[in-house]
Structure formats: C-alpha cells, structure tokens
C-alpha cells in the first residue's frame, strides 16, 4: 500500500515539475499566427467531413413540412421518428438490408477463413511446389482481365442473378493472404513444431494453434472485408441487374438517388400498394433519399469506433509486399 501511495506522490511531483518547466516556453507572434491558421484549417476541414452526415440526420428527424419548406439548416425542428417508421413499410428496402447483411456476414466469414487457411498453408515449406502456388495466388493482384471479360466469365459460370455472385468471387483475396502469411511467420515456429511432434495433423495445428494466435490480424481483415462488402455496389449493378430482390443496399440507394423528383414511379415500384397513398402524402423524394442514406450509413458509423484500433494494421493493406 505504501509503495503505491509513494508512486502516486512521485507522479504528482513529476507532473508539477513538467508543468513548471514547460509552460514558460515563449510563443513568438509568428507561432501564434501559425497556430491560429493551423487550428482553423483543421477545424474547418473536420467540420466539412462530418457536417454532411449531421445535415442528413437532422433532416430525417425533423418535421417533414418544415424540411420541404427548406426551414432546416443547422438544428432539427419538430422532432419525429415517423420517417424511419414509414421507411419500415417499404418492402424492397428491407430485402436489400437483409441481402446486404447476409452477404456481409457470409462473405466476410468465408474470406477470413480461407485467408487464414491459405496464409497458414503457404508458410509450410514442405508443400508440393509451395513457391509456385504462392506466386500463382499473389500475381492475381497485379493483372486484371477487365470488366467485360469478368462479366462474361461470371455469366458463363451461371453466377449472374444469384446471391452466390456476391460471395464466391471474393473468397480468395491475395492481399489478405499475404497479410496473414506475414503475421503467421512472426509466430515462433517452436509452438507449431512441438505440436507436430506430438502427432497433431496440419488441420489440428491450424485450428488449435494458428487460428487463435493470429486473431489480431484476422480481426483486421474481417473488419476491412466487412466494410468492403457493405459498400460494394458494382457486382449488384452489373451481375444482378435483372433481379431486384437481390439488389444490395448501396444499389437500392443509387436507384432512389437517380429517381429524384419522380415520386409516383418510386411509389409504384418501391412501396407496397396498401400504403402507397399514405406514404406518398407524407414523404417526398428528398426525405426518402435522406432516410435511406441514413439507414445505409448507420451500420458503418456503428462499427467505426471499433475499427479505429485496426487502422495501423489495415494500412499494411496498401503497402504489402509479395
């Protein structure tokens, strides 16, 4: 107990010392001007980054009449959540939410599993032609057949207008395999070798040793993979153009944004007939657009705080080496 008290006392004294010795550094007028300009720039830029989100949000929770009149600028007026409740009646929106959630979960889970397994396997020197197969995977990052051959290939494989089109092509991700491989190489090999001596199979070693030990990197690729799935839009637009029931949320939002000022068409295609008049009366295109945008943004903002600690690792995504 006394030790801890002493520690606290020491720390307090240290703090005091630093305070006394650091505050007396004089700021020149140039420094002050620099600081003001610097702070001002970052404040303005930060506001420009979050204000659009805020503006969307206050519009969706304000009274619709005021929104239509253009009375909402900086603060919400006439608080209501009726827009979100109304949106619940839009059937195609909910199928999109479901499809997007499903693809995010299934796609990310499979991608993480395969990246972990492949990352582990390519570290095994005894594999048959390991170097060749590793290069075979990695080299796919650097070339691309192009959009049209990719589309034709997918339609040849029968993957157009299917849910599988969202999942299967993204399972093997060479970037993530390299990340996992690099990480696994940093795990002391003694652990694995001793398990092998004890008669564990490769599969057991992977499941019981490699998988738990490489969780930090797997969490990183999972979170970036999930964001990628949530935001992905091209595959829905190109491959599933003829299956509205498979549109992802981003694609749905894109359609609503494009249909601006054409409320009648939207009501017909988007909202189940029973509620058509009720909804069309209360919400205009603008509010529908804003509300769907918020529905699309909210999940990202929810996971965002948890993502932040993976940023530094995720940065390797941009600067990896084969």
CA 60 – CA 79 distance, rounded (Å): 9
CA 251 – CA 270 distance, rounded (Å): 13
Minimal distance, residue 220 CB to other proteins, in Å: 14
What's 13's DSSP letter? H
- Which is closer to other proteins, CB of 237 or CB of 276? 237
- Which is closer to other proteins, CB of 203 or CB of 212? 203
Angle at 103 between CA 98 and CA 107, to 5 degrees: 160
- Which is closer to other proteins, CB of 280 or CB of 317? 317
- Which is closer to other proteins, CB of 249 or CB of 279? 249
Q: Determine contact, residues 237/250, Cβ cutoff 8 Å.
A: no
CA 36 – CA 134 distance, rounded (Å): 53
Distance of CA 136 to the CA centre of its chain: 28
Minimal distance, residue 127 CB to other proteins, in Å: 4
- Which is closer to other proteins, CB of 106 or CB of 238? 238
Minimal distance, residue 219 CB to other proteins, in Å: 16
Q: Give 220-279 as a 3 state SS string.
A: HHHHHHHHHHHHCCHHHHHHCCCCHHHCCHHHHHHHHHHCCCCHHHHHHHHCCHHHHHHH
- Which is closer to other proteins, CB of 6 or CB of 40? 40
CA 289 – CA 113 distance, rounded (Å): 37
Minimal distance, residue 4 CB to other proteins, in Å: 26
Minimal distance, residue 269 CB to other proteins, in Å: 18
Minimal distance, residue 143 CB to other proteins, in Å: 5
Cβ neighbours of residue 9 under 8 Å, at least 6 residues apart?
none
- Which is closer to other proteins, CB of 30 or CB of 212? 30
Minimal distance, residue 3 CB to other proteins, in Å: 29
Minimal distance, residue 2 CB to other proteins, in Å: 32
- Which is closer to other proteins, CB of 56 or CB of 97? 56
Q: Determine contact, residues 280/99, Cβ cutoff 8 Å.
A: no
Number of CB atoms found within 10 A of residue 265's CB: 9
CB burial class (10 A; 0-12, 13-18, 19+) of residue 304?
exposed
């Amino acid at each position: 107990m006394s030790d801890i008290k002493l520690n606290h006392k020491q720390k307090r004294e240290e703090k005091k010392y630093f305070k006394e010795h650091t505050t007396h550094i004089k700021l020149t007028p140039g420094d002050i001007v620099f600081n003001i300009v610097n702070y001002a720039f970052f404040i303005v830029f930060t506001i420009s980054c979050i204000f659009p989100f805020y503006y969307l949000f206050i519009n969706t929770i304000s009274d619709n009449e005021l929104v239509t009149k253009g009375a909402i600028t900086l603060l919400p007026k006439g608080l209501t959540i009726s827009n979100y409740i109304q949106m619940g009646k839009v059937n195609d929106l909910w199928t999109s939410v479901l499809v997007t959630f499903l693809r995010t979960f299934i796609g990310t889970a499979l991608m993480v599993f395969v990246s972990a397994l492949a990352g582990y396997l390519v570290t095994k020197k005894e594999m048959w032609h390991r170097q060749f197969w590793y290069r075979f995977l990695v080299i796919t990052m650097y070339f691309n057949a192009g959009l049209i051959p990719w589309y034709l290939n997918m339609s040849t494989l029968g993957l157009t207008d299917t849910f599988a089109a969202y999942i299967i092509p993204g399972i093997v991700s060479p970037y993530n395999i390299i990340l996992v491989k690099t990480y696994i190489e940093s795990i002391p090999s003694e652990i694995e070798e001793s398990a092998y001596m004890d008669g564990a199979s490769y599969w057991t070693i992977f499941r019981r040793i490699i998988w738990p030990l490489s969780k930090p990197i797997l969490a990183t690729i999972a979170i970036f993979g999930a964001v990628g799935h949530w935001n992905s839009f091209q595959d829905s637009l190109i491959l599933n153009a003829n299956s509205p029931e498979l549109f992802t949320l981003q694609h749905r939002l894109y359609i609503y944004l494009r249909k601006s000022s054409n409320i009648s068409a939207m009501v017909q295609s988007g909202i189940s007939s029973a509620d058509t008049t009720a909804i069309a009366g209360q919400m205009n295109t603008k509010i529908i657009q804003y509300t769907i945008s918020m529905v699309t943004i909210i999940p990202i903002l929810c996971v965002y705080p948890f993502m932040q600690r993976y940023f530094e690792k995720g940065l390797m995504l941009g600067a990896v080496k084969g």
